[in-house]
């Protein structure tokens, strides 16, 4: 379970949000919305432990994430605004590197994931020549091969065409069906059928 208790975040001298609390259980998705600059990305980075809250606490299975350290970070996969792709490596090499860091370098899973996301034909070229949509799909492919229970996603549907949005939605639903947890921001509607979809709007 991911739990946020009375969270408060600031940027400079500006209060972004305060008294934010929620619980996210296996199979649940939290959709965070709000205008640009409202603090959505700051919230996600705080959930990842990359940004420290002014007040409040983020807990994983009842323990503060600061106490858990790497034990918590090993349970989550984060895709932010930046795709985090190594441009000089091929798509396969990018995924093998990510999988190796997780101790899960399954070559068949990597090949199948590249094929499913329409990237297999581009595997002989460095990732830097991919289109923005293809790079975004490659970033999302890491989610599949890393196999972490908690996914934290900042605008994962950006730069994707209609077919890619449908495929990404399918992947999200599969993760939730395996009792995974997802926290995501998106300006687009999310057609994900799940046990529970929670909504938080940051003003």
> Sign of the CA dihedral 123, 126, 127, 129?
negative
pLDDT at 194 over 80: no
pLDDT at 192 over 70: no
Phi, psi (deg, nearest 5) at residue 17: -160, 160
pLDDT-wise least confident of 86-100, 102-116, 145-159, 165-179: 102-116
pLDDT tens, position by position, 124-171: 899 999 999 999 999 999 999 988 999 999 999 988 999 999 999 999
Q: Region 72-98: what's the mean pLDDT?
A: 92
- Give the per-residue pLDDT at 34: 84
- Give the per-residue pLDDT at 196: 55
Where do the CATH 3.40.50.300 domains begin and end in the chain? 1-75+149-165+177-203
- Give the per-residue pLDDT at 197: 63
Phi, psi (deg, nearest 5) at residue 88: -80, -15
Q: Across all residues in the chain, what is the average pLDDT?
A: 90
Measure the CA–CA gap between 42 and 122, rounded to whole angstroms: 34
The correct answer on CATH 3.40.50.300 for the domain covering 1-75+149-165+177-203 is yes
Are the C-beta atoms of 181 and 26 separated by less than 8 Å? yes
pLDDT tens, position by position, 27-51: 999 999 888 888 999 999 999 999 9
- Give the per-residue pLDDT at 136: 94
The model carries a pTM of: 0.91
pLDDT-wise least confident of 23-32, 80-89, 120-129, 184-193: 184-193
Q: What is the 3-state secondary structure (H, E, C) of 88-109?
A: CCCHHHHHHHHHHHCCCCCHHH
Measure the CA–CA gap between 108 and 87, rounded to whole angstroms: 23
More confident: 7 or 202: 7
Measure the CA–CA gap between 196 and 30, rounded to whole angstroms: 8
């Amino acid at each position: 379970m991911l739990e946020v208790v009375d969270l408060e975040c600031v940027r400079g001298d500006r209060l972004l949000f305060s008294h934010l609390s929620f619980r996210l259980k296996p199979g649940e998705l939290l959709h965070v919305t709000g205008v640009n600059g409202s603090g959505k990305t700051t919230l996600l980075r705080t959930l990842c432990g990359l940004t420290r809250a002014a007040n409040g606490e983020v807990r994983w299975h009842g323990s503060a994430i600061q106490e858990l350290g790497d034990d918590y970070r090993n349970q989550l996969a984060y895709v932010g605004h930046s795709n985090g792709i190594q441009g000089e490596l091929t798509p396969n090499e990018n995924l093998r590197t990510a999988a190796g860091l997780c101790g899960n370098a399954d070559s068949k899973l990597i090949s199948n994931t590249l094929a499913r996301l329409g990237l297999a034909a581009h595997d002989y070229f460095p990732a830097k020549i991919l289109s923005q949509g293809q790079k975004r799909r490659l970033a999302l492919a890491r989610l599949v091969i890393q196999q972490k229970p908690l996914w934290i996603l900042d605008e994962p549907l950006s730069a994707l065409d209609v077919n890619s949005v449908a495929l990404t939605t399918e992947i999200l639903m599969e993760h939730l069906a395996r009792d995974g947890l997802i926290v995501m921001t998106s300006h687009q509607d999310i057609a994900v059928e799940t046990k529970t979809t929670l909504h938080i709007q940051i003003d």
